[in-house]
Amino acid sequence: MSDDIKILRSLAYRYAEIVNGENNLYNMKLHSSVNDLQQIRPVVMIDELPWSEMNINNELTLMCEDLYLRKIEWFLRKILFKHKYMPADMILIPYIPVGKIINSTGFGITTVENILATDKQNRIVSHDYIDILSTEEDLAKLHRQVISYDEKSTLERYNLVSEILGDIMPVRITGVNTFYSVTWDDISRYRGVSHLLMDLADRPDFMHRIVRRLTDFQLDTFNQYETLGLLDTDNYNLHCTPALTKDLPAKETGITRKNIWGRGAAQIFASVSPSMHNEFDIDYMIETIGQCGLSYYGCCEPLDTKIDIVKRIPNLRKISITPWANVNIAAEAIGKKYVLSSKPNPAKVAVPMLNKDDLRLEIKEILDACKRNNCSCDIVLKDISSCNSRPENIFEWEQIVMEMVRSY
């Protein structure tokens, strides 16, 4: 344990120095300005990295022996690594987080799948899901989950980390700061893609019963979060994008869904019509993330031609625009009303050598579209399955894109 303490304290001193620097405070201002629709300039972030390909000079090698302290070590190491090599506009949160230990009984069924892994070190694998939700009998197996909070174990962790690092950095117990509703992502894992898409057309009533049941269970889960006091307004990251905003002020007690972000998506609906997307997902999103103080919709599904249905979600503030969407069409529809959360193509860094000219053209199109339509914008490189074992691709991506946004 003594060696673990030395390791963590050394990392924490480096972390604290950056947290208290002027640049970290300025980045917080940048993030909030984008989400408050008063953009200073577009914000750039990098997330969902292929960590198995990134370990330069063993800077990411974990050395602590205690299993929980290894998680704290990983939190510190990966952030310090990003800040050193590809900081973009990242924020270091001003405390060491200790997450509340929240347990769940589950919804009554478990996914069944075949997996193909091309790289045993990389957690990104190919999934083939077996359909386990095809009949009324299967649907009847679904039930509400029961949430519980292990306060005793959470406090033990908090006290341990506070004793080790509390004189260097504040330590804070953190809760649930976002209401996630990605019902169709869940259904795709229960059913598989082909069965799901076919039954939207062939068995629409049955598919409505599935999404209705899961939506009700999501709402019930969130009611339990509120009742148990598990919600948290101290949020710096919203699924890889900026979360800071003056419109959701921090609050210590009595936190409800009205005080936090809602996050929704239906990635499998990339290939369905706007009317089907509206009927089978947006109508339900209104009930879930639409209850939150602010909402953010979309992930990898193209939404450039679906902004008119997405904007039906109450308190909508941010819309994801993927590499497979036309950013010019999206920016014109989004305008000043929402944040355009742009996702450049991560495949561009999964190559032997970064094509810098091609990258500049891609980012220029995004920036030009946002400037022309007065959009607040964040640019997020994410879903990076591989960098071809060449981390320099991502580092060079960051340097080029930061140079471009600083000249915006």
- CATH code assigned at 141: 3.20.20.210
Q: How far apart are alpha carbons 373 and 378 in whole angstroms? A: 14
Query: What does the pLDDT read at residue 48?
Result: 96
Query: What does the pLDDT read at residue 127?
Result: 86
**Domain housing 14:** 2-406
Query: What does the pLDDT read at residue 27?
Result: 98
Query: What does the pLDDT read at residue 251?
Result: 82
Query: What does the pLDDT read at residue 128?
Result: 86
Q: How far apart are alpha carbons 287 and 298 in whole angstroms? A: 16
Give CA separation, 309 vs 6, 180, 208, 283, 314, in Å.
54, 19, 18, 9, 11
The parts of the chain modelled with pLDDT lower than 50 are none
Tell which residue, 379, 371, 289, has the closest CA to residue 334.
Answer: 371
pLDDT tens profile 337-380: 999 999 999 999 999 999 999 999 999 999 999 999 999 999 99
SS (H, E, C) the chain: CHHHHHHHHHHHHHHHHHHCCHHHHHHHHHHHHHHCCCCCCCEEEECCCCHHHCCHHHCCCCCCCCHHHHHHHHHHHHHHHHHHHCCCCCCCCCCEEEECCEEECCCCCCCCEEEECCCCCCCCCEEEECCCCCCHHHHHHCCCCCEEECHHHHHHHHHHHHHHHCCCCCEEEECECEEEECHHHHHHHHHCHHHHHHHHHHCHHHHHHHHHHHHHHHHHHHHHHHHCCCECCCCCEECCEECCCCCCCCCCCCCCHHHCEEEECCHHHHHCCHHHHHHHHHHHHCCCHHHCCEEEECCCCCCCCCHHHHCCCCCEEEEEECCCCCHHHHHHHHCCCCEEEECCCHHHHCCCCCCHHHHHHHHHHHHHHHHHCCCEEEEEECCCCCCCCCCHHHHHHHHHHHHHHHCC
Tell which residue, 399, 401, 397, has the closest CA to residue 355.
Answer: 397
Query: What does the pLDDT read at residue 119?
Result: 78
**Total domains, the chain:** 1
pLDDT tens profile 69-80: 999 999 999 999
